[in-house]
Structure 1
Amino acid sequence: MPSLCLPGLLKQVVAAEAQHVDAHIIACFDDTGLDAARAIATKPVIGIGEASFHAVSLVAHSFCVVTTLSRSVPLIEDNIRRYGFSHRCRRVFASDIPVLELERPESGASERISEFIREGIRLGAEGIALGCAGIAEFASALQRKHDIPVVDGVGAAVGLAETLIRCGLEPSKRGVWARGWTGLNDTERPLARRASNRSQSSASNCGQSFSISTPKRSPLPFCCRTDAYAEVSPPKTSFSLARI
């Protein structure tokens, strides 16, 4: 269950804030733990699912989602309704290709995803959101192949995080994401408090930095794929990937 990863994910957020990162990205399309992370973080927290829906809606009036496993479909559909995009989403498809198989050319992942893109277009979709960080590397090729916007959630999340940083925006602490009991132990609370109270002048001089958390175990090559986003980020942006 996604909830089983929450303690580890939240500890990663606390640890990353103690290292003065400027934003956090949850690189799981289910947006696991997003509200909880925003409640304890002092910096923007972006889920790649929510980022994808916003991004694809800016370039397409309607869209469909192509994810990996069928068990993720109900969670993604619930999030789409909660975020207010249900009237624009035509359908959520599952390729049923395990994440660890995506690296293998013989898995036929790209063609399998293409089949669902063609079906989405038949249903009226004008854009595609790829529903897993593990298939982000297919986005450009699929966009060229189908002549339709194809959104990679990690790239969209990085871009949104940079925008929020430049605008000086941080999570609201009124209402839903108000600070309260965090479930952190006596060792972790001081780290969170110091991160929260630090002044802007104490921020790292290395430029914008991000904490990227993937609640589900991912293959080592995923770490390498974070390098692909250096092209759309400032040269001094740094990434830290937490695999839980």
Structure 2
Amino acid sequence: MISIRDLTLNFNQNCILNKISLDIKQHEIIAIIGASGAGKSTLLRCLNLLEKPQQGQIRIDKMQIDLAKIKHSDVVQFRQQSAMVFQQFNLFQQKNALENVMEGLLVVKKLSKEQATSIALEKLTAVGLSERIYHYPKQLSGGQQQRVAIARALAMNPKVLLLDEPTSALDPELVGEVLMCIKQAALSGNTMILVSHEMQFVREIASRVLFLDQGQIIEDGTPKQVFNNPTNPRTKAFLSRYYATFQSDYEI
């Protein structure tokens, strides 16, 4: 469903992504982990062209682009293949939850107001916000705002859902409600690529885990393989710190 070949991004003579090649099947839940600065969020942003690599090819479903020859019209069409959930919620502050979810349906998909309203209500109900549809972002908690952002993304019916550290801006007590919402979206059959530091959640939700280091994928396997039996020394070092932190939470 998704094919990435030789994806390369340099910035100020620094190699951010180094000839990444990757295939993702429909309905897979891909989690990308790694240290800060490894290129995780950059890779995600490249998949909907918020960042534009210097070379490589990306195919989502039947649409393929050559990044060295890309046209503006290709960018617009390609971005419609995916939907992004950001660290910061990026909601329109002057619009309520219902209007935020409807916006893309009206402007991008050109649906009627009645159609957009119906879809927006369905998705807001699915994320547990049926009683908050007329609330504005400032009237919602961080977790509720992020659930609106997830509903907005799902409403566009994307071929792939991209989630960039969706819980990093939340207070700890609000993380669980967003993770549950993402898990429900995964169980519904959505193809997802998730960047996260929530290692326990990654273990539970992902069908496949990629470990990124210095712009390269150095580990690729099931959660059990990557977390229990990593092959690369860098992965082992990273996960040893995770296990130390995880265990310390339960010390008496």
Give the TM-score normalised by structure 2. Answer: 0.29
Where is the helix percentage greater, Structure 1 or Structure 2?
Answer: 1
Give the TM-score normalised by structure 1. Answer: 0.29
Where is the strand percentage greater, Structure 1 or Structure 2?
Answer: 2
**Relative contact order: is structure 1 or structure 2 higher (C-alpha 8 Å, sep ≥ 6)?**
1
